[in-house]
Amino acid sequence: MRLILLAASLLFVSFIPIQRSTAADIVFKNGNVYTANDQTPKAQAIAVKADKIVFVGTNAAAQKFVGPNTRVVDLKGRTVLPGFTDAHQHLSGVGQREMTLNLEGTTSLEDLLAKVKARVDQAKPGAWVTGRGWIETHWQPPVFPTRSDLDKVSPNNPVILGRADGHGAVANSAALKLANVDKSTPNPFGGEISKDKQSGEPNGMLLDAAQGLVRRRVPPSTKEDDEREVVLGAKRDVELGWTQVQDAGGDYGDVDIFKKLYAAGTLKLRIYKAVYGPGPQANRLLTEGPIIGEFGNRLTVRSIKVVSDGALGSRGAALLGPYSDAPDTSGFLTVKAEDLRPMLIDALKKGIQVETHAIGDRANRFILDEYETALKAVPVSERKVAEPRWRVEHAQIVNPADIPRFAKLGIIPSMQPSHAIGDLFFAPSRLGIPRLNGSYAWESFIKSGVVVPGGSDAPVERGEPMIEFYAAVARKDQKGFSGDGWHPEEAVTREQALKMFTIWPAYAAFEDKLRGTIEVGKLADLTILSADIMTIPELEILKTRCVMTVINGEIVHEAS
Ligand SMILES: [Zn+2]
């Protein structure tokens, strides 16, 4: 007995030190692995040690990474992709949608009013009712709700409900009264108070900056609410398979919340954060400099988000010509060139990325012109980051003459596939068929020589990776429908779609050496799915579920 024990302990002593050098923390075996690395696109097994990938290859070769303390995960043929990244999301907004009246999927005006009534019935007298997520596109008729619709279910409680796109909201009379908005209130810069054509009274719809007139009357959320939004938003993201979100706007208050939650270990999701500019938040980033890769490469703040126009649905997108279905308007720009110019110059000198929301063809041309002027004014020798990787968020309606300018200037169009399959129901009437050439033009952009990071823009859209992947490759609605002027040739291949949600957003965040593919030495972020979205019929992509999410080598979500 003693001899055996002695032999065992000798074995133990001599065995472990050797194993310790090669043994991985986790070995994933029997996987259907797509690496998004063109040199070795497929694999069976992955070994992970600490936060990094240490092996990618065959099951047999992975065996030498299995030590006594290695967790071996048998994937049973499931599909493994590099950790999905949402290149454009509003994380707090996603959480807020979970916490307030969530109007996603509202099927009609009556449905909307029923949901509002149920909430109003529970509200204290005079308390605000806020919500978000309605979209009238598929209602009969597809028209915006009005203050008088809301007054029927909420005569006393003030109500404001954001359209899914965030660029419009409907308020009831009680809310407009509290905000002193009436027929004589002028439109604020960058916004519009919709008025009844006959009476000239506000009809309840507030576009873009005009929403602020009412929203500033809503009691501010508490610090606990703000933290809870981030926690809930991140929880939903990780469960859906997102490993990083690129948070398109916000302020240092958000950054403080992220830091607190990371420090406490309650936040695992990676966040690449932008703050709004021009203005005090951007100035702070320009003065203090970026935050790069804190909390185990989870938190980076190095980008300024500019908003240059509104959205197409609410006719706030700035177009080069009038709207086809509203010839008296061509939308509006929401930033002044004289405010933008000094900030762009400063950003180049200090190595700060700029990402600008531009939806209409006029906004896209405007921002390309402004970027071009700044890039010419600050030569590479005077830039902190030679290749600034500035971005245009959405790049939705682009005059075909402007598409090649992105590649020429090194500008990245960051696009959201689900916008196309939602917007294409009303885009033909807003724009007319000819102007759809160059709209949601993913494949034209890729062919022009740029990368196209893909995002969801949640809570504007639902924020589900499978909806985005499907929209990118199918360019049809979720029932498989495609209409006139939808330009099916702008759909992308599955290999391109995979890059849109992995290596291309990593590139757009200066992280392409760090993550975005399944390669030895990169951070171990994996999205593991119930089906092979690279080969299954298009509509089955929508039924595919995330079964496991790995961030920094840690399994942060495992479906039961
Ligand atoms: Zn957005």
3-class secondary structure for 96-144?
A: HHHHCEECCCCCCHHHHHHHHHHHHHHCCCCCCEEEEEECHHHCCCCCC
Cα of 138 from ligand 1 centre, angstroms: 22
Which of 27, 10, 13 lies closest to 64 in space, CA to CA?
A: 27
Q: Is the pLDDT of residue 459 over 60?
A: yes
Greater pLDDT, 368 or 16 = 368
CA angle 502, 293, 266 (to 5 degrees): 85
DSSP 434: G
pLDDT in tens, 409-444: 999 999 999 999 999 999 999 999 999 999 999 999
289 CA distance to ligand 1 middle (Å): 24
**Interatomic CA distance for residues 461 and 96, integer angstroms:** 14
Residue 301, classed as helix, strand or coil, is: strand
User: What single DSSP character describes residue 456?
Assistant: -
Contact 403, 441 (CB under 8 A): yes
The residue type found at 331 is: G
Q: Is 298 left (phi over 0), alpha (psi -120 to 50) or beta?
A: alpha
Across all residues in the chain, what is the average pLDDT?
94
Q: How far is the CA of 529 from the centre of ligand 1 (A)?
A: 26
Ligand 1 centroid – CA 441 distance (Å): 18
CA 513 – ligand 1 centroid, Å: 26
Give the Cα separation of 11 and 19 in Å (integer): 12
Give the pLDDT band (50/70/90) at residue 290: very high
76 vs 396: CA distance, rounded Å: 40
413 CA distance to ligand 1 middle (Å): 13
Helix, strand or coil for residue 318? coil
The pLDDT assigned to 99 comes to 83
Q: 354 CA to middle of ligand 1, Å? A: 14
From ligand 1's centre to the CA of 245, what distance in Å?
12
pLDDT over 90 percentage in the chain: 90
- How buried is residue 7: exposed, middle or buried, by Cβ count under 10 Å (0-12/13-18/19+)? exposed
Closest C-alpha to 270, from 19, 514, 22, 23: 514
pLDDT tens by residue, 12-57: 444 444 445 689 999 999 999 999 999 999 999 999 999 999 999 9
Task: Give residue 221's pLDDT.
Answer: 87
Mind listing the pLDDT tens digit for each residue in 467-494?
Answer: 999 999 999 999 999 999 999 999 999 9
Average pLDDT over residues 294-319: 96
Strand partners, 272: 246, 300
pLDDT-derived band at 4, boundaries 50, 70, 90: low
pLDDT of the residue at 138: 84
pLDDT of residue 105: 85
- For 89, 118, 276, 528, the CA distances from 97, given in Å and listed in that order, are 13, 17, 21, 26
* Phi, psi (deg, nearest 5) at residue 123: -80, 150
What separation in Å is there between the alpha carbon of 209 and the centre of ligand 1? Answer: 15
Among 508, 342, 325, 522, residue whose Cα is nearest residue 411: 508
* Average pLDDT estimate for 440-468: 96
User: Rounded to the nearest 5 degrees, what angle is found at the Cα of 372, between the Cα atoms of 369 and 378?
Assistant: 140
Helices within 386-523 (DSSP H only): 403-409, 417-423, 427-431, 442-447, 465-474, 494-500, 503-508
560: confidence class by pLDDT, cuts 50, 70, 90: confident
Count of C-beta atoms within a 10 Å radius of residue 521: 9
Bridge-based pairing of strands 191-195 and 168-171 is unpaired
**Given this model, what pLDDT does residue 19 score?**
47
Short-list 424, 396, 420, 423, CA closest to 483: 424
* Element of type H or E holding 414: strand 412-414
- DSSP 8-state secondary structure symbol assigned to residue 44: S
Mean pLDDT of 234-255: 97
How many angstroms separate the alpha carbon of residue 27 from the centre of ligand 1?
37
Region 297-303: mean pLDDT is 98
The CA 89 to ligand 1 mean position distance, Å, reads: 6
Whether residue 8 is predicted with pLDDT greater than 50 in this model: the reply is: no
How far is the centre of ligand 1, averaged over its atoms, from the C-alpha of 125 (Å)?
Answer: 34
Query: Hey, is 14 helix, strand or coil?
Result: helix
DSSP tally for the chain: helices H, then strands E: 21, 24
Q: What is the pTM of this model?
A: 0.87
Report yes or no: 129 and 120 within 8 Å, Cβ to Cβ. Answer: yes
**Using one digit for the tens of pLDDT, what is the confidence trace for 95-151?**
988 888 989 889 999 999 999 999 999 889 999 999 999 999 889 999 999 999 999
CA 539 – ligand 1 centroid, Å: 26
* Distance in Å, CA 384 to ligand 1 centroid: 27
| Interstrand relation of 353-358 and 299-307 (parallel, antiparallel or unpaired) | parallel
> In this structure, what token pair is assigned to residue 453?
């990071």
Q: E strands of 308-374, at which residues?
A: 353-358
Ligand 1 centre to CA of 559 (Å) is: 29
Q: How far is the CA of 248 from the centre of ligand 1 (A)?
A: 6
State the pLDDT at residue 318.
Answer: 98
Cα(87) to ligand 1 centroid in Å equals 10
Alpha-carbon distance of 413 to 355, in angstroms, equals 9
